[in-house]
């Protein structure tokens, strides 16, 4: 708003006037000689009015005008702190002073509350006020921490002490609010820091972490925090997260190793850091001066450089005269194309953690004293209570509390380890008991491990990298703490450590998560990369040692349940038809099938950390080698050593950029310091890796090309061993979805409606629309074909009667319509979606290939006999079902009207109508059944069944049973499949076996075709002239047909039964012709001739013979009508046929 003097005011004048009047009414400096602060008449009401302005104007309207006016009015430093100083520390019975102090803190808490930049809620006022208010909060902290008139933080505790003294059961809501208010004030003061993007003009030493720790120690805040933490869960409950936040902002990013150093060690460490930094600076300057500018090369220089293709390029600057690599680098930098690089988004969580904090010696001593006292008394109660609060998702738990919890657990576990190490170094009495781990036992129980694993998987799934970083730090420190327990020499501690490690390593899901974390690193922060590599390093190292000690180590792996698979298929639009078996009665069994134990193999697990993606993660970590500590460099060294020599996967390191990095670390211009403790180890590792690389180049010259690229597992295996990996594929081929049938017999339109309704319930309307489109295209094509046929028939010329032209038996059939899926998802749905397949079959679509050979690439067709009218009716039924889906009783869906087709039962080898009389032939239709050896006794033998007394049957019952037996035998022969043609292990045979099998089949069919051709040429239809010949022919035919029932079973397995029959008939006919007739003449009508001719003529009258069924006629009833023959019942005794051919 523009003022009278031309300036603009970003705050409304009325708001500013109200705030200024309230601040003036609050009070001011007294005019007396003491110069103290004098309260106004209604000072308490004024403070309450200011609180209402903040609450109902700033917070309700999402503005910051009141806070801005209070800052400009200098309310905190000029009024609130002097008011607090008027309450002397020894005055404990002044209720008015207590109320005034409480009112002051009610104003200071919202003024110091951390501001979050929420882009969705930020307005213009936020962008105007937030930079100013952030600096104002820094001024508030400086004034509170360094105020000389009173101990402000101690005064805040005095305000809350009466409420804290009340037992937890007697506290009112107001008492709880006062305690939380004071804790929030302490939290705000501890976490206020100068904004990273704004320069603070004041003295940063007054608001540093050291100043804050000193104020907390001097004003007894540490004692209050220890009291609250040690009594958490008993006298205090809802204050757990507030206490944890205060401690978090005090200890975050503090170097724990320096925390437990004495002054001499600390000064030595600082001197070492300074020496290292100066050494790095000198080496950097040396490398720069080698090719850097001098006082004599400041003049212009331009040179011509001849490239490989013969073209010339011009370069300017004398640095191009140094060497060829510099010139090439200069040309690369001058290229116009730059890959786009998006700016990294500001991460408030990363800013919350901040940079590593440097403390002075006084602050180190004060913080170390607090940390030791906290570990001794408050660690277990506080973190156990916070863990329970997080697990039950209490209302006051925020999203960042879980991250702070895991960070603090990791920090204090490392602090306890450092304290134990310092005590061991300075301990004068070696027998002193310093191996007690009871102080941190609250985070080493099973409940903590469950929370840790849950947070690990959830943060990884939600891609919350900062929380995942804290979880990984916590996991690492737990592993290191447990390892120290196992090495402590105390039997009790070693037993506890053994139990803890077994629980940590028991879940295979944890192994998978750690492998996924290190494999999927992309562009997260360095803190995340450091935590991930540290966890993998210690996890592999400790797990390797534990697996060596426990050879029979078991891990629990979780199998994918059917429900999870069904959910994934539903997401992809694929139907899972196992709903019939997923009833509530099988829930317990399903739960038991989800997990299983197996023996752990460390070498197999370690190979999961050798792929190129994991190597790239450690390479990205090693690229910071100039800034890494000795422990971090040692971590990377151990990993590359494990890959190159332990896992024998050195080819993964044979890449140009990796070799270049290794060389620069030891021989390059910015190499590691030779005085470093890890330089010798890295130098030896690089030497051995390069030696293996050169040796491998001699063995595999193709490695020279592969060094430019990352290597997959198959490429790495070939480069390592010289041949491709030999794998055995045990997985069976993909099977189509289970066939569905209707529970009740319905009409076609009703069936289509049920299937369409079920698909609509499953949100598969796109599949229904696609099927309608296919039917519509086929209908249009059929109509066009029929119209073209009618037009052709009308213009054809009339043929002469004398000309005999071959005429077709009917109109020409339309061509087959091929169904082509429009995308990959549709093809998968045609193979795996049971409802879609059922709808396709109902509307007339058919598979082109046999159902037993169906694959996802199998073709579907609309056959020629499907007319356009039938297709039109199918489209009408689908449209009708979409417009008016079928409805059922309450709670019943359309899919409930369908069920899976039950698998056919395996029939017995023989069918006994009468006990004790097996009437089947001696052998099966294709030879004797394979029997097991006599000596093979895997199970108990069955006792023989006793023959029941035979019951006399009447003639009608005998004839009825005879017909039933014939029908069963015929059905069994029609449904028979050869053991040689179909085997259970066919899915596992290779292509060579299949090719040999089909070659034998083609050869057999070719022989059969040749025999039929010869038979057709030799046979001459003749009528018998003698009744005796006719009778003999009928008798012989009857005898021969009777023998067919058992003769087929005597044929070998290598040929078709029908083909063998023709072959035997032709052989017999030709032998008789050779015996009784001279060459070149046809035989006369003898009995044998009549019998053989009868047999062959029967074969010729079977045009519908199914070759795949072994020559068995499918139309058996028609054969009986054509040649009725009454076969007598074979005589069977003891399971053997006693009929003989001699009876003829």
Contacts of residue 1041, defined as CB under 8 A and 6 or more positions apart, other chains included, come to: 1125, 1127
State the virtual CA torsion across 383, 389, 395, 398 in degrees, nearest 10: 40
CA–CA distances in Å: residue 443 to residues 232, 383, 449, 1000: 15, 7, 8, 71
The CA distance from 56 to 867, in Å, is 77
Contact by Cβ (8 Å): 858, 845: no
* Three-state secondary-structure class, residue 269: helix
Contact by Cβ (8 Å): 25, 46: yes
The DSSP string of 1100-1142 is HT-TT--GGGTT--S-HHHHHHHS---PPPPPEETTEE---GG
pLDDT of residue 787: 86
Please give the residue that has the higher pLDDT: either 936 or 31: 31
Of 900, 919, 944, the residue that ends a domain is: 900
> Which residue has 């005034």 as its token pair?
100
* Three-state secondary-structure class, residue 1020: coil
Helix H or strand E segment including 741 = strand 740-742
Same domain, 878 and 1022: no
Q: Do the domain assignments include residue 36?
A: yes
Point out which residues pair with 900 in neighbouring strands.
740
Is 1082 a residue whose pLDDT tops 90?
no
Same domain, 747 and 720: no
pTM for the whole structure: 0.64
pLDDT of residue 1143: 42
Written as six digits, the tokens of 242 are 């507030």
Q: What is the DSSP letter of 843?
A: T
Is 164 a residue whose pLDDT tops 90?
yes
Please give the residue that has the higher pLDDT: either 1074 or 392: 392
Mean pLDDT of 946-959: 59
pLDDT of residue 1059: 47
Is 515 a residue whose pLDDT tops 90?
yes
Kindly report which listed range (752-766, 874-888, 1129-1143) carries the lowest average pLDDT score: 1129-1143
Could you tell me whether strands 846-847 and 1136-1137 are parallel, antiparallel, or unpaired per DSSP bridges?
unpaired
Please give the residue that has the higher pLDDT: either 994 or 479: 479
pLDDT of residue 172: 93
Of 900, 923, 957, the residue that ends a domain is: 900
pLDDT of residue 941: 46
Same domain, 132 and 179: yes
Kindly report, residue by residue over 378-417, the tens digit of the pLDDT. 999 999 999 999 999 999 999 899 999 999 999 999 999 9
pLDDT of residue 1085: 40
Of 841, 866, 900, the residue that ends a domain is: 900
Is 624 a residue whose pLDDT tops 60?
yes
Contact by Cβ (8 Å): 203, 211: no
* Three-state secondary-structure class, residue 1087: helix
| HEC per residue, 220-266 | CHHHHHHHHHHCECCCECCCHHHHHHHHHHHHCCECHHHHCCCHHHH
Is 1029 a residue whose pLDDT tops 60?
no
pLDDT of residue 365: 93
Q: How many CA atoms lie within 13 A of 183 on its CB side?
A: 23
The CA distance from 1004 to 1084, in Å, is 32
Kindly report, residue by residue over 716-762, the tens digit of the pLDDT. 888 888 888 776 555 556 788 888 888 886 788 888 989 998 899 88
Written as six digits, the tokens of 108 are 């200071």
The CA distance from 565 to 576, in Å, is 8
Is 968 a residue whose pLDDT tops 80?
no
Provide the angle, in degrees to the nearest 10, between the axes of the packed helices 748-761 and 834-842.
150
Mean pLDDT of 144-154: 92
The DSSP string of 369-386 is HHHHHHHHHTHHHHHHHH
Is 948 a residue whose pLDDT tops 60?
no
pLDDT of residue 1020: 46
Same domain, 718 and 744: no
Q: How confident is the model at residue 448 (pLDDT cuts 50, 70, 90)?
A: very high
> Which residue in 608, 612, 602, 635 sits closest to 515, CA to CA?
608
Is 549 a residue whose pLDDT tops 60?
yes
Q: Do the domain assignments include residue 476?
A: no
Same domain, 1029 and 1097: yes
Same domain, 772 and 696: no
pLDDT of residue 385: 96
The CA distance from 527 to 632, in Å, is 12
Contacts of residue 903, defined as CB under 8 A and 6 or more positions apart, other chains included, come to: none
Helix H or strand E segment including 557 = strand 554-558
Is 698 a residue whose pLDDT tops 70?
yes
Please give the residue that has the higher pLDDT: either 596 or 472: 472
- Identify how many contiguous H helices and E strands the chain contains and give both numbers: 45, 13
Kindly report, residue by residue over 530-542, the tens digit of the pLDDT. 999 999 999 999 9
Mean pLDDT of 12-25: 91
The CA distance from 584 to 561, in Å, is 15
Q: Do the domain assignments include residue 954?
A: no
pLDDT of residue 1080: 39
Q: Do the domain assignments include residue 425?
A: no
pLDDT of residue 894: 83
Written as six digits, the tokens of 336 are 């116009």
Q: Do the domain assignments include residue 665?
A: yes
Alpha helix segments (H runs only) across 505-578: 508-519, 526-549, 562-571
Helix H or strand E segment including 487 = none
Kindly report, residue by residue over 230-272, the tens digit of the pLDDT. 999 899 999 999 999 999 999 999 999 989 888 888 888 888 8
Kindly report, residue by residue over 786-803, the tens digit of the pLDDT. 888 888 877 765 444 444
Please give the residue that has the higher pLDDT: either 562 or 290: 290
Phi first, then psi, for residue 667 (nearest 5°) are: -125, -5
Contact by Cβ (8 Å): 1004, 1057: no
Q: How confident is the model at residue 7 (pLDDT cuts 50, 70, 90)?
A: low
Is 626 a residue whose pLDDT tops 50?
yes
CA–CA distances in Å: residue 596 to residues 221, 295, 608, 815: 52, 75, 21, 55
pLDDT of residue 33: 58
Same domain, 777 and 662: no
What percentage of the chain carries pLDDT values higher than 70?
71
Return mean pLDDT, the chain: 77
pLDDT of residue 796: 61
pLDDT of residue 1121: 41
Q: Do the domain assignments include residue 244?
A: no
Burial 65-79 (b: 16+ CB within 10 A, else e): bbbbbbbebebbebb
Q: Which of 49-58, 978-987, 1070-1079 has the highest mean pLDDT?
A: 49-58
Q: How confident is the model at residue 586 (pLDDT cuts 50, 70, 90)?
A: very low
Domain interval for residue 54: 13-219
pLDDT of residue 559: 64
pLDDT of residue 728: 59
Q: How confident is the model at residue 970 (pLDDT cuts 50, 70, 90)?
A: low
pLDDT of residue 598: 84
> Which residue in 539, 546, 537, 524 sits closest to 631, CA to CA?
537
The CA distance from 294 to 764, in Å, is 75
CA–CA distances in Å: residue 340 to residues 344, 718, 1049: 12, 37, 78
Kindly report which listed range (36-40, 122-126, 295-299) carries the lowest average pLDDT score: 295-299
Same domain, 676 and 758: no
Same domain, 703 and 745: no
pLDDT of residue 512: 93
pLDDT of residue 349: 58
Same domain, 696 and 744: no
Is 1093 a residue whose pLDDT tops 50?
no
Q: Do the domain assignments include residue 304?
A: no
CA–CA distances in Å: residue 64 to residues 14, 55, 126, 188, 676: 14, 11, 7, 18, 54
Same domain, 685 and 622: yes
Q: Do the domain assignments include residue 784?
A: yes
Count up the domains in the chain and report the number: 4
Same domain, 722 and 757: no
CA–CA distances in Å: residue 651 to residues 25, 69, 521, 611: 80, 67, 21, 11
Kindly report, residue by residue over 630-653, the tens digit of the pLDDT. 999 999 999 999 999 998 888 999
């Amino acid at each position: 708003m523009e003022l009278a003097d031309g300036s603009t005011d970003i705050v409304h004048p009325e708001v500013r006037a109200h705030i200024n009047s309230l601040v003036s009414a609050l009070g001011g400096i007294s005019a007396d000689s003491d110069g103290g602060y004098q309260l106004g008449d209604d000072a308490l009401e004024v403070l309450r009015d200011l609180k209402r302005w903040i609450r109902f104007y700033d917070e309700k309207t999402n503005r910051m005008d009141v806070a801005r006016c209070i800052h400009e009015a200098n309310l905190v430093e000029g009024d609130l702190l002097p008011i607090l100083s008027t309450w002397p520390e020894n005055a404990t019975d002044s209720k008015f002073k207590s109320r005034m102090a409480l009112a002051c803190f009610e104003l200071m808490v919202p003024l110091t509350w951390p501001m979050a930049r929420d882009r969705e809620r930020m307005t213009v006022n936020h962008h105007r006020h937030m930079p100013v208010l952030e600096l104002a909060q820094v001024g508030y902290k400086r004034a509170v921490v360094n105020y000389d008139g009173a101990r402000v933080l101690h005064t805040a505790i005095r305000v809350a002490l009466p409420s804290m003294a009340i037992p937890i059961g007697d506290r009112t809501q107001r008492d709880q609010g006062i305690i939380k208010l004071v804790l929030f004030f302490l939290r705000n003061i501890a976490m206020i820091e100068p904004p990273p993007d704004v320069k603070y003009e004041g003295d940063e030493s007054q608001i540093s972490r050291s100043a804050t720790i000193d104020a907390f120690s001097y004003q007894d805040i540490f004692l209050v925090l220890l009291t609250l933490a040690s009594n958490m869960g008993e006298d205090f409950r809802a204050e757990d997260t507030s206490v944890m936040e205060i401690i978090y902002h005090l200890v975050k990013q503090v170097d724990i190793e320096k925390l437990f150093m004495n002054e001499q060690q600390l000064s030595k460490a600082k001197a070492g850091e300074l020496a290292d930094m100066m050494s790095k600076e000198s080496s950097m300057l040396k490398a720069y001066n080698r090719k850097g500018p001098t006082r004599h090369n400041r003049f212009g220089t331009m040179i011509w450089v001849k490239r490989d293709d013969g073209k010339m390029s011009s370069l300017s600057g004398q640095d191009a005269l140094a060497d060829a690599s510099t010139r090439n680098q200069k040309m690369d930098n001058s290229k116009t194309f730059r890959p786009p690089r998006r700016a990294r988004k500001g991460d408030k969580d990363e800013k919350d953690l901040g940079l590593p904090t440097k403390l002075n010696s006084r602050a180190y001593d004060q913080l170390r004293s607090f940390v030791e006292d906290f570990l001794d008394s408050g660690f277990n109660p506080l973190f156990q209570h916070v863990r329970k609060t997080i697990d039950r998702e209490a209302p006051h738990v925020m999203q960042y509390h879980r991250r702070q919890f895991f960070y603090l657990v990791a920090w204090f576990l490392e602090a306890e380890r450092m304290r134990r190490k310092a005590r061991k170094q300075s301990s004068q009495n070696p027998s002193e008991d310093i191996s007690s781990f009871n102080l941190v036992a609250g985070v080493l129980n099973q409940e903590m491990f469950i929370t840790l694993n849950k947070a690990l998987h959830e943060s990884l799934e939600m891609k919350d990298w900062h929380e995942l970083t804290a979880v990984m730090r916590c996991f690492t420190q737990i592993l290191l703490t447990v390892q120290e327990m196992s090495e402590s020499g105390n039997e009790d501690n070693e037993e506890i450590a053994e139990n803890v490690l077994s629980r940590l390593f028991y879940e295979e899901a944890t192994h998978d998560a750690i492998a996924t974390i290190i494999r999927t690193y992309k562009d997260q922060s360095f803190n995340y990369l450091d935590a991930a590599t540290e966890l993998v390093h210690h996890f592999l190292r400790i797990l390797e040692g534990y697996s060596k000690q426990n050879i029979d180590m078991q891990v629990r792996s979780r199998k994918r349940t059917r429900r999870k698979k069904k959910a994934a298929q539903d997401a992809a639009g694929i139907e899972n038809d196992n709903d019939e078996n997923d009833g509530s009665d099988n829930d317990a069994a399903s739960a038991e099938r989800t997990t299983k134990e197996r023996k752990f193999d460390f070498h197999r697990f370690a190979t999961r950390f050798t792929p190129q993606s994991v190597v790239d993660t450690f390479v990205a970590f090693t690229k910071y080698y100039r800034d890494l500590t000795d422990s971090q460099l040692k971590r990377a060294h151990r990993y590359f050593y494990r890959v190159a020599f332990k896992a024998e996967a050195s080819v993964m390191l044979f890449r140009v950029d990796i070799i270049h990095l290794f060389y620069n670390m030891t021989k390059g211009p910015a190499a590691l310091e030779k005085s470093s403790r890890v330089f010798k180890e890295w130098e030896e590792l690089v030497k051995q890796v390069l030696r293996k690389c050169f040796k491998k180049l001699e063995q595999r010259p193709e490695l020279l090309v592969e060094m430019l690229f990352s290597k997959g597992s198959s490429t790495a295996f070939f480069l390592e061993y010289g041949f491709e990996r030999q794998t055995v594929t045990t997985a069976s081929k993909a099977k189509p979805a289970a066939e569905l049938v209707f529970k009740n017999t319905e009409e076609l339109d009703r069936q289509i409606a049920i299937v369409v309704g079920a698909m609509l319930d499953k949100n598969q309307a796109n599949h229904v629309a696609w099927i309608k489109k296919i039917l519509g295209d086929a209908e249009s094509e059929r109509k066009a074909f029929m119209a073209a046929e009618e037009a052709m028939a009308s213009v054809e010329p009339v043929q002469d009667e004398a000309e005999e032209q071959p005429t077709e038996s009917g109109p020409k059939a339309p061509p087959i319509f091929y169904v082509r899926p429009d995308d990959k998802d549709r093809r998968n749905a045609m193979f795996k979606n049971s409802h879609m397949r059922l709808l396709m079959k109902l509307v007339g679509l058919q598979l082109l290939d046999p159902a037993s050979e169906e694959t996802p690439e199998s073709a579907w067709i609309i056959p020629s006999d499907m007319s356009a009218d039938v297709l039109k009716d199918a489209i009408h039924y689908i449209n009708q079902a979409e417009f008016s889906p079928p409805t059922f009783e309450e709670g019943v869906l359309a899919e409930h009207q369908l069920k899976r087709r039950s698998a056919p039962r395996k029939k017995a080898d023989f069918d006994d109508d009468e006990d004790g009389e097996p009437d089947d032939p001696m052998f099966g239709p294709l030879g004797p059944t394979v029997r097991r050896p006599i000596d093979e006794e895997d199970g108990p033998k069955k006792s023989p069944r006793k023959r029941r007394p035979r019951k006399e049957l009447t003639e009608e019952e005998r004839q009825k049973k005879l017909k039933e037996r014939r029908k069963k035998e015929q059905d069994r022969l029609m449904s028979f499949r050869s053991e040689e043609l179909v085997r259970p292990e066919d899915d596992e045979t290779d292509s060579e076996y299949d090719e040999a099998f089909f070659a034998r089949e083609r050869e057999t069919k070719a022989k059969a075709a040749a025999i039929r051709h010869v038979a057709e040429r030799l046979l001459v239809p003749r009528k018998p002239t003698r009744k005796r010949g006719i009778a003999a022919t009928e008798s012989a035919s009857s005898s021969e047909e009777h023998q067919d029932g058992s003769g087929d079973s005597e044929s070998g397995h290598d040929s078709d039964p029908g083909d063998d029959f023709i072959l035997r008939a032709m052989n017999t006919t030709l032998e008789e012709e050779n015996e009784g007739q001279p060459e070149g003449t046809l035989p006369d009508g003898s009995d044998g001739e009549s019998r053989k001719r009868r047999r062959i003529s029967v074969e010729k009258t079977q045009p519908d013979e199914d070759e795949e069924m072994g020559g068995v006629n499918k139309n058996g009833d028609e054969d009986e009508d054509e040649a009725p023959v009454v076969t007598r019942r074979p005589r069977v005794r003891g399971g053997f046929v006693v009929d003989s051919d001699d009876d003829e």
